Chain A
Amino acid sequence: MTEEIKTLPPKRGAPLWAQILTLAGLIALLTMVWLILGKRQQGSVQPGEVIPDFSLTLFKDYQYNEQTQVSLSDFAGKVVVLNFWASWCKPCEQEAAELEAAWKFYEARGDVIFLGIDYVDTEPEALLYLKKFGITYPNGPDLRTKISQMFRIRGVPETYFINRSGVLRYVQVGPFTTLQQIQSIVDSILAE
């Protein structure tokens, strides 16, 4: 009596629908990771880019043309100097006086506006900071960090110079050290 003993290969592989589902899920996951990493590596907005409109609710005691909320579109035709700061940020203190001096220098012209955006801060400390440095240009908190996310800032202080057409012309990462530094950038944009 002879018998042949065979070992059948085990049945392998999931059903087709499961394979397709897994593959689709994997592709979706990789796409998400790719998009998120791409966005993170993109860095801050670059000169030459048109800045989309955004709104800023100003701190109490701050107004612009009797408005407590301003939008970038309100400043069409003006050079906008947008400064991100925070009360807990020591380098911000280095440039606070220079920014206010620059604002005072250009305020009377009417074609330059300075705007302070307070990044992830607590209001009492922010108001103390503004009072301490006598900041008079419009300032407000970056609620839900929407504006800083739009600009993809990497920290504070960062200052963005936007020309009359709403195009970003210059980005200053870190504090200004002199008033002349700010003036030279604003003047060059005004001269365009």
Chain B
Amino acid sequence: MNRQLPITIYVLSLALVLTALTAGRAFAQGPQPPTDDEVNAVAKELFCPVCENTPLDVCPTQACRQWRDQIRSLLAEGKTSDEIKQYFVDTYGDRVLNEPPRTGFNWLAYIVPPLVILLGALSVVRTLKGMKKPVVVSPAGGADRSEARRLAEDDYAARFEEEVRKRK
């Protein structure tokens, strides 16, 4: 009997603490509606379904104001940003997203631009390689090209020096 008493007290204390914590959380959530910043943080990731290419957080139409109110209500219900975005997609379609979902035909939007950039970069590299210094070719074909070039430069230097000497 004496042993049971501390256990009972312990369980009751734990239950009281848990109840107090839960009640505290419920009290904290209730009277605090989502702020404008919280609403806009979700809204800026969505686009107005009526006026194209306008993010929802800056869209001035009545429809957008209604949608921002909807976001506020959903946040107040405890929905996460992803859940709210999914709600908007389910209701208004994929075009409300600021980027197309990575499914089906939409993959082209993700694959084509990097592919084009890659091909462009390859093309630039090849072009730059082709623009290297001119190559000297010996008509005799005996010496290699760099040797022929060195000889040609030496010959020019020798003739230049000879000309300078003559003029002195």
- Shortest beta-carbon distance, A9 to chain B, in Å? 9
Contact of A10 among B50, B131, B151, B155 (CB under 8 A): B131
Total contacting residues, chain A, CB less than 8 A: 31
Number of cross-chain contacts by CB at 8 Å = 81
Given contacts A120-B50, A143-B90, whether A7 and B112 have CB atoms under 8 Å apart is: no
Stretch at the interface among A21-29, A76-84, A160-168, A179-187: A21-29
B116 touches A25 (CB 8 A): yes
Interface of B is mostly: helix
**How would residues 104 to 140 of chain B score, 1 for a CB under 8 Å from any chain A CB and 0 otherwise?**
0000100010011001001100110111101111110
A88-B66, A144-B94 given; name 4 further pairs at CB < 8 Å: A10-B132, A144-B90, A144-B92, A145-B93
Q: 9 shortest A-B CB distances, which residue pairs?
A: A10-B130, A7-B134, A88-B63, A144-B93, A120-B49, A88-B62, A122-B66, A145-B93, A6-B137
Interface residues of A (CB under 8 A from B): 1, 3-8, 10-14, 18, 21-22, 25, 29, 32, 86-88, 120-122, 125, 141, 143-146, 149
Interface residues of B (CB under 8 A from A): 49-50, 61-63, 66-67, 69-70, 89-95, 108, 112, 115-116, 119, 122-123, 126-127, 129-132, 134-139, 148, 151-152, 155
